[in-house]
């Protein structure tokens, strides 16, 4: 056991078990009672979390909030049936009540089975420092940072009429024990800074937003990085004041690096999650080994990137995080699995079992999902297009997992004319089919970038932090809806 893992276990026990006199042996005894029935899998997940938020609007810090939550979730699984109970009180009494509740799915089992013994914590590499970001900066300094954002944004251009900014920091400690005695803990920090501006020129008004974040403290955020973010957001809003109506029709589309990878996340990423594939509802179901994208397209889910929002030391089922190959050179290689779906399909967990909190069931979810870099210079990719669209920043969108159909709005786009970026355009709506679009990728840039730490993924009513990314891509033909 490494020193860090040992410290994490000690901290988890101190914050989750010791206050009510519980031990890991009590958790093992709880799981023993579950496994005395005919169930295939059981685990107990405990968590305590603290969150703090501050927001500024109109040059004034309008709100500040602090919350604390804790509790446990107890799960029993038989075949594909799951019983789940949770409570905000981590006590023997509540654990006993949860046992009685989850027994509902299980018939009498083998009372002679060996008792569960507590194992040593699951070994894993450390992807981030567990220091609490809430405590890493005084309240006055947090307010000062928001005020700096307001002043700096307004100073960048006289057209800036409104500025909004928010800070959100959280710190969570989790401990999970499984029916085989395996034990895992993790200490998870998160910091996010968001900004929003409105610019005006005469009767014209435009907006833009952005942010940054990661599993780190305020010490990792410099004023230079804040200023760079503000320049980017203000410039985007000012450019949109001069934007023309977007063209419409089938055309080549070049998609820029970084945040536009959210299109990849939504249009194809969810289709690689194990539950959709086990149920046969994904367009990628049963297609391992088939070519599902153009040659050169390689997509991975990688939860091991240091300090990124989607990274995990261990997932919420105690599995160490890993890099999972989804598509390799256009060939479908694998799916993202949690324990339940891996067991039912005869595969292994890929460390993608995630939940929003102790009050939610885990399911297969993405972590940091991105397309790897290619071999083409980004300027070469733009130069290859005689007439088309360049998408620099992505707006809202939606996708149908079953059909693969997607619709996304552009936040900032440009016309490409004779191999050059020309006029900015607004109102562009991209529509297509995810798998078909991946077949139309013809050029992949060398400029892989990940989003700055603002992505959140929703699924089945649960939200978790993720990271998206890609290099510059050329899609030979995509339907663009516009107003021109």
pLDDT at 122 over 90: no
Residue 107: band (very low, low, confident or very high) from pLDDT cuts 50, 70, 90: low
**Are 455 and 319 part of one and the same domain?**
yes
Asked if residues 182 and 208 have their Cβ atoms less than 8 Å apart, the reply is: no
Going across the sheet that includes 81-87, the strands are 81-87, 60-78, 41-57, 160-178, 183-201, 204-214
**Are 223 and 263 part of one and the same domain?**
no
pLDDT at 2 over 80: no
Q: Determine the average pLDDT of the residues in 169-192.
A: 96
Picking from 198, 246, 215, 73, the residue whose alpha carbon sits closest to that of residue 130 is: 215
For residue 386, what are the contacts with CB-CB under 8 A and spacing of at least 6? 416, 417, 418, 419
Per-residue pLDDT tens digits for 367-381? 999 999 999 999 999
Residue 110: band (very low, low, confident or very high) from pLDDT cuts 50, 70, 90: low
Asked if residues 36 and 119 have their Cβ atoms less than 8 Å apart, the reply is: no
pLDDT at 24 over 60: yes
C-alpha angle 436-437-443 in degrees, rounded to nearest 5: 130
Determine the pLDDT at residue 113.
64
Q: What is the DSSP track for 217-265?
A: -GGG--HHHHHHHHHHHHHHHHHHHTPEEPP-EEEEEEE-SSTTHHHHI
pLDDT at 287 over 90: yes
**Are 257 and 228 part of one and the same domain?**
no
> The tokens of 157 are what?
């251009």
Last residue of a domain, one of 186, 207, 241: 241
pLDDT at 482 over 80: no
Characterize 214-244 residue by residue with b for buried, 16 or more Cβ atoms within 10 angstroms of its Cβ, and e for exposed. Answer: bbbbbeebeeeebeebbeebbebbbbbbebb
Per-residue pLDDT tens digits for 302-314? 999 999 999 999 9
Q: Residue for token digits 């992949």? A: 444
Higher pLDDT, 350 or 2: 350
Q: What is the mean pLDDT of the chain?
A: 94
**Are 221 and 300 part of one and the same domain?**
no
For residue 254, what are the contacts with CB-CB under 8 A and spacing of at least 6? 381, 382, 385, 388, 389, 390, 391, 416, 472, 473, 474, 475
For residue 252, what are the contacts with CB-CB under 8 A and spacing of at least 6? 385, 387, 388, 389, 416, 474, 475, 476, 477, 478
- Cα separation, 54 vs 210, in Å, equals 16
Higher pLDDT, 460 or 105: 460
Rama region for 368: left / alpha / beta (φ>0; ψ in -120 to 50; rest) = beta
Last residue of a domain, one of 222, 241, 260: 241
For residue 14, what are the contacts with CB-CB under 8 A and spacing of at least 6? none
Per-residue pLDDT tens digits for 31-42? 999 998 888 999
Residue 55: band (very low, low, confident or very high) from pLDDT cuts 50, 70, 90: very high
- The CATH number for 41's domain is 3.30.2290.10
pLDDT at 111 over 60: no
* Domain count across the chain: 2
- Cα separation, 71 vs 48, in Å, equals 7
Determine the pLDDT at residue 360.
98
Higher pLDDT, 264 or 219: 219
pLDDT at 484 over 90: no
Residue 234: band (very low, low, confident or very high) from pLDDT cuts 50, 70, 90: very high
**Are 403 and 352 part of one and the same domain?**
yes
| Structural domain boundaries enclosing 467 | 245-481
Determine the pLDDT at residue 106.
65
Characterize 186-209 residue by residue with b for buried, 16 or more Cβ atoms within 10 angstroms of its Cβ, and e for exposed. Answer: bbbbbbbbbbbbebeeeeeebebe
Q: List the single range of 126-135, 294-303, 320-329, 475-484 with lowest mean pLDDT.
A: 475-484
> The tokens of 40 are what?
């295939």
What is the separation, in whole angstroms, between the first and last Cα of the chain? Answer: 63
**Are 268 and 230 part of one and the same domain?**
no
Per-residue pLDDT tens digits for 209-225? 999 999 999 999 999 99
pLDDT at 114 over 70: no
**Are 374 and 459 part of one and the same domain?**
yes
Last residue of a domain, one of 241, 266, 289: 241
**Are 396 and 416 part of one and the same domain?**
yes
**Are 225 and 256 part of one and the same domain?**
no
Q: CA 464 → CA 71, 253, 283, 353, distances in Å?
A: 18, 30, 23, 11
Determine the pLDDT at residue 3.
83
Picking from 245, 203, 247, 207, the residue whose alpha carbon sits closest to that of residue 393 is: 207
Determine the pLDDT at residue 121.
84
**Are 161 and 299 part of one and the same domain?**
no
pLDDT at 109 over 70: no
Residue 402: band (very low, low, confident or very high) from pLDDT cuts 50, 70, 90: confident
DSSP three-state, residue 41: strand
Q: Determine the average pLDDT of the residues in 66-88.
A: 95
Q: At what angle do helices 92-102 and 24-35 cross, to 10 degrees?
A: 20
Percentage of the chain with pLDDT > 90? 84
Residue 151: band (very low, low, confident or very high) from pLDDT cuts 50, 70, 90: very high
Asked if residues 78 and 93 have their Cβ atoms less than 8 Å apart, the reply is: no
Q: Determine the average pLDDT of the residues in 384-390.
A: 97
Pairing of strands 368-371, 467-470: parallel
Cα diameter, the chain: 81
**Are 153 and 256 part of one and the same domain?**
no
Determine the pLDDT at residue 112.
54
- Cα separation, 262 vs 264, in Å, equals 5
**Are 350 and 421 part of one and the same domain?**
yes
């Amino acid at each position: 056991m490494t020193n860090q893992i040992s410290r994490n276990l000690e901290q988890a026990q101190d914050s989750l078990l010791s206050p009510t006199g519980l031990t890991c042996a009590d958790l093992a005894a709880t799981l023993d009672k579950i496994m005395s029935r005919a169930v295939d899998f059981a685990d107990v997940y405990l968590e305590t979390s603290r969150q703090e938020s501050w927001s500024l609007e109109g040059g004034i810090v309008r709100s500040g909030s602090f919350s604390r939550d804790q509790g446990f979730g107890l799960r029993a699984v038989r075949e594909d049936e799951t019983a789940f109970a949770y409570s905000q009180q981590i006590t023997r009494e509540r654990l006993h009540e949860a046992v009685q509740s989850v027994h509902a799915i299980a018939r009498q089992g083998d009372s002679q089975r060996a008792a569960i013994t507590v194992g040593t914590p699951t070994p894993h590499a450390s992807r981030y420092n567990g220091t609490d970001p809430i405590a890493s900066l005084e309240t006055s300094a947090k307010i000062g940072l928001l005020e700096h954002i307001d002043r700096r944004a307004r100073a960048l251009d006289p057209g800036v009429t409104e500025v909004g900014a928010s800070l959100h920091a959280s710190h969570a400690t989790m401990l999970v024990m499984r029916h085989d005695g395996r034990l895992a803990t993790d200490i998870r920090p998160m910091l996010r800074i968001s900004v929003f501006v409105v610019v005006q020129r005469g009767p014209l008004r435009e907006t833009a937003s952005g942010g940054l974040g990661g599993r780190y403290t305020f010490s990792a955020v410099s004023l230079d990085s804040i200023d760079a973010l503000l320049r980017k957001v203000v410039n985007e809003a000012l450019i949109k004041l001069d934007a023309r109506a977007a063209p419409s029709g089938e055309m080549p589309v070049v998609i820029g690096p970084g945040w536009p990878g959210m299109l990849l996340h939504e249009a194809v990423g969810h289709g690689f999650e194990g539950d959709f594939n086990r149920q046969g509802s994904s367009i990628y179901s049963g297609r391992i080994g088939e070519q599902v994208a153009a040659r050169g397209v390689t997509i991975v889910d990688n939860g091991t990137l240091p300090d990124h929002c989607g990274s995990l030391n261990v997932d919420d089922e105690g599995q160490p995080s890993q890099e999972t190959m989804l598509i390799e050179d256009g060939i479908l290689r694998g799916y993202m699995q949690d324990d339940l779906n891996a067991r039912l399909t005869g595969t292994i967990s890929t460390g993608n079992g995630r939940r929003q909190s102790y009050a939610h069931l885990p399911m297969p979810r993405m972590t940091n999902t991105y397309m790897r870099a290619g071999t083409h210079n980004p300027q070469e990719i733009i130069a290859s297009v005689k007439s088309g669209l360049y998408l620099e920043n992505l707006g809202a969108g939606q996708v149908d997992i079953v059909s693969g159909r997607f619709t996304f709005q552009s936040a900032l786009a440009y016309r490409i004319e004779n191999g050059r970026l020309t006029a900015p355009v607004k109102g562009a709506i991209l529509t297509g089919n995810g798998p078909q679009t991946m077949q139309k990728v013809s050029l992949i840039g060398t400029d892989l970038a990940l989003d700055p730490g603002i992505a959140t993924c929703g699924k089945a009513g649960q939200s978790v932090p993720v990271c998206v990314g890609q290099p510059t891509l050329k899609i030979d033909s995509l339907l663009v809806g516009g107003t021109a």
